[in-house]
Amino acid sequence: MTKKLPLLISALIFAAFFLTVHHFVVNIPSRDDFAATLSFIQMQCVSDVGIFDQITALFIPHNEHYIVLSRLSAALAYNFAGHLNFTALVWYQNIFLLGGYALVLQIIRQQKLPLLVLLLPTTIFFFNLSFWQVTLYYWGGIQYYTVFFFAILSLYFLHVSLNSGSAWFAGGIVAATLAVLSFGNGIVVLPAGFLLLWGQRQRKRLLVWTGFSAIVIMLFWLNFQGPSTVRPAFNPVWMGKLLFTFLGSFLYVNPSVKLWSYANIVLCAVVGLGVLFVWVRLLVNGYLHKNPLLYSLLTLTLLTALLIAFGRFETKAAGGIAPRYMYFSTLIPVFLVLIYADLQKRQNKNLPVKALASSMLLIWGLSYANNIQAIEAFNQENLSTFHQWEQDHRRPLVPPQNHDPRYSEVLLWAMENNVYTPPVRLLATGDEDNK
């Protein structure tokens, strides 16, 4: 493989990803946008309340999550522009995806790994459509992208603080706090950071981090709200199905044929078991102390998988391939490849670049083709639902199992008060090209 080819293919993947965003993003709210965004603007940014109440409202849990940055971003956008545009918010949230990508490339450089060789696999998994629900809709992306951006940033700061002083360590604490406030699973940065500092044998900073973690966990649980729906009794078998499927879900390409989909899920579960085995094998072989940063990054993704499997166990294997969660799992192969490259470097061996790149490109291509169809179907359903609501405000704006009558009320309020204005052509013709 020539040196220019990875750059060219990476550029094409990058362009395809963002051209897809440009084509499919639509300025209409959906799902969590009603409760998490419009309701917050209604209650705190328009109503006659004091600044203290507005700040306090940022920290009210949304179901079982703190989504401070999501709410704050929407509030700033509204106060700056005088209205909400969900297309603009979606483009804004993807900045954090770019930030995470740049951060991983910086980690590759800092680890003295072959950047040009690792550029392509990193690009393939960062810019694919498996997590399209996070990419194209504000109700997911700002939470998912920010939580991992700040979690990875925190671990990176803790790593460089070993040689660069306490300011970087303080930065790690600030970034970890932002991760926790971005989304519920941000809490896993605390044990991941503990593991990293343990691997570096930084005893004093480990004590400080432990104290910080104890305070954050206490505050996290202080106003914590569990799921708003009634759930079945805990089932460890269901949890195991979700966990292993999720750990291998970076191989899920969303086949349209059910038989192939089931086969793909089984493959993900088998590979997920292998991922867990690799993590344990690395721990047993002492890799934590050899490269604490890379091992803690992989641990971050595994702890996230464990948290999701525990919190969503009733969805079984299907929960492991949910597009809204797969951004977390798509980073698993990135960190595995980085660890593999590091091990090969320690043994003075070269990476099997062509084999890795070919298999990853195949996965990317299949995922892209199949998920384009899923995006088109979802957008059409979303547009149809919106048009039906326009005809009758009693119609549900989200799937019936998640519907709340207040969603219609807050959307009607937003439109009447020019907080949100849907595109005119969209309402008239259903033309989703009007952004």
Q: Which residues pair with 62 in a beta bridge?
A: 65
Q: Is pLDDT at 431 greater than 70 in this prediction?
A: no
What is the structure's pLDDT at 13? 96
Q: Is the pLDDT of residue 309 over 60?
A: yes
Q: 166-205 pLDDT, tens per residue?
A: 899 999 999 999 999 999 889 999 999 999 999 999 889 9
- Of 85-99, 251-265, 311-325, where does mean pLDDT reach its minimum? 311-325
Q: Mind listing the pLDDT tens digit for each residue in 24-51?
A: 999 999 888 888 899 899 887 666 677 7
pTM of the model: 0.92
Q: Which of 275, 107, 295, 332 is CA-nearest to residue 195?
A: 295
User: What pLDDT sits at residue 395?
Assistant: 85
Nearest to 117 by CA among 373, 404, 344, 420: 344
Q: Calculate helix-pair angle for 166-182, 68-81, nearest 10 degrees.
A: 80
Mean pLDDT of 65-93: 92
Question: What is the DSSP track for 400-433?
Answer: GGG--HHHHHHHHHHHHTTSB---HHHHHH--TT
At residue 30, the pLDDT reads 87
d(CA 211, CA 206): 9
Q: Please provide the distance, in angstroms rounded to a whole number, between the alpha carbons at the two ends of the chain.
A: 40
DSSP 223: T
Least confident stretch, 96-105, 166-175, 386-395: 386-395
Q: What pLDDT does 2 receive?
A: 66
Token readout for 296 is: 């803690």
Greater pLDDT, 115 or 52: 115
Residue 333 reports pLDDT greater than 80: yes
Kindly indicate the confidence band of residue 348, based on its pLDDT and cuts at 50, 70 and 90: confident
Structure tokens, 145: 């992208």
Confidence category of residue 424, pLDDT binned at 50, 70, 90: low
| Confidence band of 296 (pLDDT split at 50, 70, 90) | very high
pLDDT band at 275 (very low <50, low <70, confident <90, very high): very high
d(CA 410, CA 398) in angstroms, rounded, equals 13
pLDDT of 49-76, one tens digit each? 777 777 888 888 887 788 999 999 999 9
3-state secondary structure of 215: helix
